[in-house]
Chains A and B, each alone.
Chain A
Amino acid sequence: MKFTSLLASAAIALGLATSAFAQDKTKVGFVYVGPVGDGGWTYEHDKGRQAVEQHFGDKVETVFVESVPEGPDAERVMTQMALEGADLIFTTSFGYMDPTINVAKKFPDVKFEHATGYKTADNVSVYSARFYEGRAVQGHIAGKMTESNIIGYIGSYPIPEVIRGINSAYVHAKKVNPDVEFKIVWAYTWFDPAKEADAATVLIEQGADVILQHTDSTAPQAAAQEAGNVITFGQASDMSEYAPMPRVSSIIDNWAPYYIARTQAVMDGSWSTTNTWDGIGPGMVEIGEISDAVPADVKEEALAMKDAIADGSYHPFTGPLKKQDGSDWLADGETADDGTLAGMNFYVEGLEGEIPQ
Chain B
Amino acid sequence: MIVLEKRPQPSRAWSFATPLVAVLATMVFGGVLFAVLGKNPVEAIGTIFWEPLFGEFAFYYRPQLLVKGAPLVLIAIGLSLGFRAGIWNIGAEGQYIMGAIFGAAAGLAFYPLEAWYIFPVMVFAGALGGWVWAMIPAILKVRFGTNEILVSLMLVYVAEQILASVSLGLLKNPEGFGFPGSRNLQSYPSAYNSELITGSGMHWGVVAAFVAVIFAYVLLNRHLLGFHIRLTGEAPRAARFAGVNPARLILFCLGTSGVLAGLAGMFEVSGPSGVVSIDFNVGYGFTAIIVAFLGRLHPLGIMLAGFLMALTYIGGEIAQSQLGLPAAAIQVFQGMLLFFLLAFDLLTNYRIRAARSEVA
Are any A and B Cβ atoms less than 8 Å apart in their complex? yes
Q: Say how far B230's CB is from chain A's closest CB, in angstroms.
A: 35
A77:B57 contact, CB within 8 angstroms:
no
A118:B199 contact, CB within 8 angstroms:
no
B179:A7 contact, CB within 8 angstroms:
no
Q: Say how far B250's CB is from chain A's closest CB, in angstroms.
A: 32
Known: A3-B198, A157-B180. A65 touches B60 (CB 8 A): no
- Total contacting residues, chain A, CB less than 8 A: 47
A75: B residues at CB distance < 8 A: 272
B180: A residues at CB distance < 8 A: 157, 159
B279:A6 contact, CB within 8 angstroms:
no
Q: Which residue of B lies closest to A66 (CB)?
A: B327
Known: A83-B57, A158-B168, A188-B164. A342 touches B322 (CB 8 A): no
A71:B282 contact, CB within 8 angstroms:
yes
Residue among A64, A67, A118, A190 making CB contact with B321, cutoff 8 Å? A64
A3: B residues at CB distance < 8 A: 59, 63, 198-200
Instruction: Write out, one digit per residue, whether chain A residues 43-77 have a CB within 8 A of any chain B CB (1) or not (0).
Output: 00000000000000000000111111111110111
A73:B282 contact, CB within 8 angstroms:
yes
- Total contacting residues, chain B, CB less than 8 A: 44
State A5–B240 Cα separation when bound (angstroms): 60
B63: A residues at CB distance < 8 A: 3
8 A Cβ contacts from A179-230 to B: 188, 190
Among B87-95, B136-144, B312-320, the stretch that binds chain A is B312-320
A68: B residues at CB distance < 8 A: 317
Q: Is B273 an interface residue (CB 8 A)?
A: yes
Q: Say how far B199's CB is from chain A's closest CB, in angstroms.
A: 2
Q: Which of B68, B181, B186 has most chain A Cβ within 10 Å?
A: B181
Q: Which residue of B lies closest to A356 (CB)?
A: B168
A84:B327 contact, CB within 8 angstroms:
no
Known: A66-B327, A98-B274, A188-B161. A118 touches B177 (CB 8 A): yes
A63:B324 contact, CB within 8 angstroms:
yes
State A222–B101 Cα separation when bound (angstroms): 38
Q: Is B326 an interface residue (CB 8 A)?
A: yes
A80:B273 contact, CB within 8 angstroms:
no
B184:A70 contact, CB within 8 angstroms:
no
A160: B residues at CB distance < 8 A: 177-179
Q: Is A143 an interface residue (CB 8 A)?
A: no
Q: Is B119 an interface residue (CB 8 A)?
A: no
B186:A35 contact, CB within 8 angstroms:
no
A2: B residues at CB distance < 8 A: 198-199
B198:A65 contact, CB within 8 angstroms:
no
Q: Is B259 an interface residue (CB 8 A)?
A: no
B135: A residues at CB distance < 8 A: none
Known: A76-B64, A342-B177. A10 touches B168 (CB 8 A): no
Q: Is B277 an interface residue (CB 8 A)?
A: yes
Q: Say how far B143's CB is from chain A's closest CB, in angstroms.
A: 31
Q: Which residue of A lies closest to B283 (CB)?
A: A69
A80: B residues at CB distance < 8 A: 57, 60-61, 317-318, 321
B321:A29 contact, CB within 8 angstroms:
yes
Q: Which of A65, A68, A75, A159 has most chain B Cβ within 10 Å?
A: A65
A73: B residues at CB distance < 8 A: 68, 282, 313, 317
Q: Is B333 an interface residue (CB 8 A)?
A: no
State A95–B177 Cα separation when bound (angstroms): 14
Q: Is A318 an interface residue (CB 8 A)?
A: no
Q: Is A298 an interface residue (CB 8 A)?
A: no
Q: Which of B169, B179, B268, B317 has most chain A Cβ within 10 Å?
A: B179
A79:B169 contact, CB within 8 angstroms:
no
Q: Is B32 an interface residue (CB 8 A)?
A: no
Known: A160-B178, A188-B161, A342-B177. A69 touches B321 (CB 8 A): no
Residue among B61, B67, B320, B321 making CB contact with A72, cutoff 8 Å? B67
Q: Say how far B284's CB is from chain A's closest CB, in angstroms.
A: 10
Q: Say how far A97's CB is from chain B's closest CB, in angstroms.
A: 8
Q: Which 10 A-B pairs have the closest CB atoms?
A: A3-B199, A343-B178, A72-B272, A69-B282, A343-B177, A71-B273, A357-B169, A63-B321, A65-B320, A345-B178
A-B contact pairs, 28 of them (CB 8 A): A2-B199, A3-B63, A3-B199, A3-B200, A7-B60, A10-B57, A36-B326, A63-B324, A65-B327, A70-B277, A70-B279, A71-B274, A73-B313, A80-B317, A84-B57, A84-B321, A94-B179, A95-B278, A98-B186, A118-B177, A159-B178, A159-B180, A160-B178, A339-B177, A343-B177, A344-B178, A356-B165, A357-B169
Supplied contacts A3-B59, A98-B184, 8 more A-B pairs, CB within 8 Å: A70-B279, A71-B273, A80-B321, A84-B322, A94-B179, A159-B178, A190-B279, A356-B169
